[in-house]
Amino acid sequence: MTVSLKLGEVAVDAALAKLKTHLPSRIAQVNAEKDDGLIIVAPSDSDYYPFGVSEIPRYPTVVVAQLATSDEHEAEGSHSFVWVGDIAVAVFDADADRGKLGRRLQRLARAVIEALWDEAPKEALQGSAFHLRFVRDDPGPVADPQLTGETFYVGSHLIVFRAQQSEG
């Protein structure tokens, strides 16, 4: 029997595919629920990046990457090794109003969590044999327009999931 150890690249690609499919509908649900005039928009299909991007051409943008994995994140199952690692999803957005930017980033983070964790298949990445568990979300720094030379604030929010390969 050949054993296939699926590493972070497979989980990153599967997370990107699931986000592209489900994030727009989750964003629409959040907008409808809040109904306060503050609208968040889904990134276009070309604004999802695996493993990082050197310059963000448009906002909002989503970056999905594997975080560092230690030896303790590998286990031997009854038939194969089982890879466990952390996947980070970073959302970036911009706005002229710092308060609105903060709320939009929080809502984008919520939509990401719901899209990856709740949408079918539940808490899994289809086609890649990974089960997801939400670990944490961390608001990132906000870049001041005076320091960047822009007319708007740029901010980020990081969401971390633990991805565990199903045995086999």
Q: With DSSP H G I counted as helix, E B as strand and the rest as coil, what are the percentages for the chain, rounded to 5?
A: 35, 35, 35
Answer yes or no: is pLDDT of 1 > 50. no
Q: Which fold has domain 8-165?
A: Alpha-Beta Plaits (3.30.70)
Q: Which two tokens stand for residue 36?
A: 């306060």
**How high does pLDDT run on average in the chain?**
85
Residue 129: DSSP 8-state:
T
pLDDT at 123: 74
Per-domain residue ranges for the chain?
A: 8-165
pTM of the model: 0.86
CA distance 63 to 4: 26
CA distance 48 to 36: 27
The mean pLDDT of 141-146, rounded to a whole number, is: 84
**Strand ranges for 22-129 from DSSP E:** 48-50, 61-66, 74-76, 81-95, 124-125
Q: Which of 56, 45, 62 is nearest to 152 (CA)?
A: 56
Answer yes or no: is pLDDT of 115 > 90. yes
